[in-house]
Amino acid sequence: VAQLYLLTYCLSVGIVTTLPWTHNHSIIQFRVIMLSKSALTVVIGLAAFLPTISALAARRSIQQPQLQTLPISPTDNITGLPLLIKKIGLKLGRGKQLREEVVHKYFHGVDTQNIPQIVECFHPEGAIIRDICSLANRDVPYDQVGKLVSPEFLGERCREFLAAHPDCKVKFHHGPTCGRGLNNNWVYAHWYEEGTFSANSQGIEPDGSPLTVQGQTRFLVG
Characterise 126 by phi-psi region: left (phi > 0), alpha (psi -120 to 50), beta (else): left
Average pLDDT, integer, range 181-185:
83
In this prediction, residue 134 carries a pLDDT of 67
Tens of pLDDT, residue by residue over 1-46, are 344 333 333 333 343 343 444 455 555 555 555 655 555 565 455 4
Q: In whole angstroms, give the CA distance from residue 111 to residue 15.
A: 63
Q: Which of 31, 35, 37, 32 is nearest to 12 (CA)?
A: 32
Q: In whole angstroms, give the CA distance from residue 124 to residue 149.
A: 10
Tens of pLDDT, residue by residue over 45-66, are 545 555 554 444 444 444 455 5
In this prediction, residue 5 carries a pLDDT of 37
Tens of pLDDT, residue by residue over 74-126, are 876 655 555 566 556 555 556 888 899 999 999 999 999 999 999 999 999 99
